[in-house]
Structure 1
Amino acid sequence: MSYYAIDLFSGAGGLSAGLESAGFKIAYASDINADMCKTYQYNHPNTVVDQRDISELTWKNIKESTKLKKSDIKLISGGPPCQGFSTVGKKDESDPRNKLFVQYVRIIREVNPDFVIFENVSGFKKLYQGRAFEAVCKEFRDLGYTINNKILNAINYGVPQHRERTFIIAHSKKLKFSWPKKTHGTENKNDLFNENLKKPLTLEDALGDLPLVESGKKNEHYSSSPKNSYQKKRRKNCNHLTEHVGPRHGESLLYRIKLIPKGGSVLDLPEQLRPKSYFNNTYARLLWDKPATTITRNFSTPSSSRCIHPFLNRGLTTREGARLQSFDDDYVFFGKSKSSKNLQIGNAVPPLLAHNLGREIMSGIKS
């Protein structure tokens, strides 16, 4: 028996990659961004990928392209952007910023799957004085679903990165659901002494087999054989690297980066070299023996996030960012610019986290 899913606001396909490895067949995916759709289609060749505004999407579109019945669809996943909730609770539902959430619910209502995954930022429950969270829960309850919500940290599921996201799981009342059990701890002392949890993965664990490239330089050859199971799984059968090019920085930025010590930040720069305004976690080095901080779209831009390589004077390469998000090395990203590719990676749900969540949903469906 096949278990089909639909991925809306699918991005580059991180969530789908994890769900597929958990046993789902992603029948249909939709996103409005052309580069993301191209990336998704290449890496998920058996999925119908539709670049479309969700307000124009209907079940008829999905049915005609997939040849499936509504009863075949067991899961719909997606995370409407935060801006789509700015007017939740107000009367004007025609506001374009509000339509993404409204249209997402409309598709769920049309299809009526057994499970729904709703994913958003860690602070979603407090967004707009809590109106957004309450609106999502109310809509799902009105559709007859049982609601579960939790903030999951990707580091607890084998991803070498601190990354908290809010997940709301809605499911048919006749089915059961349990949150995935943690497999890895954090640097928290209680976790470190918990024999049931593995140690959190570090940058060295994730990137230790990649060649050291300087700013503006490229290398397509691994520096060694895989040193651990994480590297081995990410490499699969890859014989050469892609997207491993050191970000090209100007002389002024390179000078500043060279002054940043181990684990340091903008606060370690002389006053005259600091920007007029800044966040304390900018111009900051990651630590080789620690997990990464949250990977954002700006992971190659030292002025915007903590993304300077632990001992090289540059931001992270596109492949390093993908590794820290748990994408496999054969995952290809399309886009005319590095910023487009990095956006796709930084906005993605880590496949490993999605895999763990997908296994529990699959278990609930089969039960």
Structure 2
Amino acid sequence: MTTFVELFCGAGGLSLGLSNAGWRPLLAVDVWKDALQTYRANFPDHPALLDDVRSLTERRLRDELNETPDWVVGGPPCQGFSTVGKRERTDPRNRLVHEFARVVSVLQPRGFLIENVVGLRDMNFVDAVAKLFRKQGYAVSYMVLRAADYGVPQLRHRVFFIGDREGREFTGLEASHSPDRYVTVEDAIGDLPELSPGECAEKYDRPAITEYQRHMRLGSKVLQGHEASKHPAHLVKAISFIPDGGNRTYIPDRYQPKSGFHNSYSRLHSGSPAVAVTQNMGKPSGTRCIHPFQNRGLTAREGARLQGFPDRFHFSAGVTSQRLQIANAVSPILAERLGRELGVAPFAHVLLDAAE
């Protein structure tokens, strides 16, 4: 069985997907207390350290691990690479990928996997990141994947780096879903109880209809995180004018919100995948996060469904923190697909330039 260590594990989306693919986690590490609490609750069978990766000396790693992992995986914090806001090459958070590389150098796994935002590619950091690992003797492949192409009801793009110590290059991940077969927002969350702003529900009140909904419910006995934010009456009135998939241009002038960007106050389209889920999923002023039919923002559970987390996966801490944990996570569905493909080794041998 393929074993792995996850750095910057967050709530555990990557670990969940790889575990579903048959991999076995040995150790997880993150400095984010709330996310690690979620991780520990959902993965009680292996250590999860609340610690800064920079403190993981070789001795500490050897003490924590009874065996050398086959892979080191993770998503170093991405704010410095993000396409949202000002991007800075000198952002200290960008240095954490060097810490990831240091751990790889210490443990010498046969492979590594890094997930990050597409902004990294836009900043021409790809070659710099790849060079870190080529110096260690790894062949490095990278690709941008759209989650919807692999059965996730979300148009989320992420860049993945895959390293192989045997000098082989990953040949890619073939899409399983074409646009006419994408899992839609309604496919994903249409079975969840209807809520008005400020309401919550802990029980299902209708049967699952789609295959995706049935899959999300497996092993779940209680509906956790399905709590809608409270909205003022004037905001509820304003968004009531917006049709399925529509935007703020449908709101009459007298009800128009006084702030927000052109893509604020927009409904998700029920017949399409969602746009990328963000921590503002509960705020109608966020980027296209209003429920397709109900006059409110998304609940944390709806956001989790759109990310591919099953209902049995519960999130710790308060609602605001839960939303951030969900938004920052790797989709377990995409992670599982990657894990299965890497397990059958669709690699091609390449020549490594020792001078790189």
**Partners of 1:154 and 1:273 in 2: how far apart?**
36
Distance change (3 Å), C-alpha of 1:106 and 1:215: same
Q: For 2:160, what is the secondary structure of its paired residue?
A: strand
Give the one of 98, 102, 105 matched to 1:109: 105
**Partners of 1:14 and 1:237 in 2: how far apart?**
17
Matching of residue 170 in structure 1 with residue 170 in structure 2? no
Matched-pair contact (CA < 8 Å) for 1:175–1:365: no
Find the counterpart in structure 2 of residue 189 from structure 1: none
Give the one of 315, 319, 324 matched to 2:306: 324
Whichever residue aligns with residue 74 of structure 1, its letter is D
**Partners of 1:326 and 1:13 in 2: how far apart?**
12
Find the counterpart in structure 2 of residue 153 from structure 1: 146
Whichever residue aligns with residue 334 of structure 2, its letter is L
Deviation at 1:327, TM superposition (A): 0.4
Deviation at 1:49, TM superposition (A): 0.5
Give the one of 170, 175, 186 matched to 1:182: 175
**Partners of 2:75 and 2:251 in 1: how far apart?**
38
Q: For 1:358, what is the secondary structure of its paired residue?
A: helix
Deviation at 1:344, TM superposition (A): 0.4
Whichever residue aligns with residue 76 of structure 1, its letter is V
Deviation at 1:97, TM superposition (A): 3.8
Find the counterpart in structure 1 of residue 297 from structure 2: 315
Find the counterpart in structure 2 of residue 233 from structure 1: 215
**Partners of 1:176 and 1:101 in 2: how far apart?**
20
Matching of residue 81 in structure 1 with residue 80 in structure 2? no
Matched-pair contact (CA < 8 Å) for 2:199–2:228: yes
Find the counterpart in structure 2 of residue 212 from structure 1: 194
Find the counterpart in structure 2 of residue 142 from structure 1: 135
Deviation at 1:13, TM superposition (A): 0.4
Distance change (3 Å), C-alpha of 1:87 and 1:315: closer
Matching of residue 133 in structure 1 with residue 114 in structure 2? no
Deviation at 1:245, TM superposition (A): 1.5
Whichever residue aligns with residue 76 of structure 2, its letter is P
Whichever residue aligns with residue 65 of structure 2, its letter is T
CA deviations on 1:104-137 (whole Å, 9 max, x unpaired) are 111111111111111111232122xx1x222101
Q: For 1:116, what is the secondary structure of its paired residue?
A: strand
Matched-pair contact (CA < 8 Å) for 1:161–1:324: yes
Distance change (3 Å), C-alpha of 1:263 and 1:176: closer
Distance change (3 Å), C-alpha of 1:46 and 1:176: farther
Find the counterpart in structure 1 of residue 326 from structure 2: 345
TM-score, with structure 1 as normaliser: 0.87
Deviation at 1:213, TM superposition (A): 1.3
Q: For 1:168, what is the secondary structure of its paired residue?
A: strand
* Aligned ranges 1:258-277 → 2 under 5 Å: 258-271=240-253, 273-275=255-257
Find the counterpart in structure 1 of residue 351 from structure 2: none
TM-score, with structure 2 as normaliser: 0.90
Q: For 1:364, what is the secondary structure of its paired residue?
A: coil
Deviation at 1:52, TM superposition (A): 0.9
Find the counterpart in structure 1 of residue 95 from structure 2: 99
Find the counterpart in structure 1 of residue 237 from structure 2: 255
Q: For 1:134, what is the secondary structure of its paired residue?
A: helix
Matching of residue 60 in structure 1 with residue 59 in structure 2? yes
Find the counterpart in structure 1 of residue 21 from structure 2: 22
**Partners of 1:4 and 1:362 in 2: how far apart?**
11
Whichever residue aligns with residue 184 of structure 1, its letter is H
Q: For 2:105, what is the secondary structure of its paired residue?
A: helix
CA deviations on 1:292-340 (whole Å, 9 max, x unpaired) are 11111111111122111111100011111111111010101001x2110
CA deviations on 1:15-73 (whole Å, 9 max, x unpaired) are 110011111111111111000000001111112101111111123223222322xxx31
Q: Identity over aligned residues, as a percent?
A: 39
**Partners of 2:101 and 2:183 in 1: how far apart?**
37
Find the counterpart in structure 2 of residue 283 from structure 1: 265
Find the counterpart in structure 1 of residue 84 from structure 2: none
Give me the CA root mean square deviation. 2.1
Deviation at 1:242, TM superposition (A): 1.4
**Partners of 2:257 and 2:164 in 1: how far apart?**
49
Q: For 1:6, what is the secondary structure of its paired residue?
A: strand
Matched-pair contact (CA < 8 Å) for 2:17–2:334: yes
Matching of residue 358 in structure 1 with residue 339 in structure 2? yes
**Partners of 1:178 and 1:236 in 2: how far apart?**
33
**Partners of 2:73 and 2:57 in 1: how far apart?**
16
Distance change (3 Å), C-alpha of 1:84 and 1:175: same
Matched-pair contact (CA < 8 Å) for 1:48–1:66: no
Matched-pair contact (CA < 8 Å) for 1:115–1:361: no
Q: For 1:319, what is the secondary structure of its paired residue?
A: helix
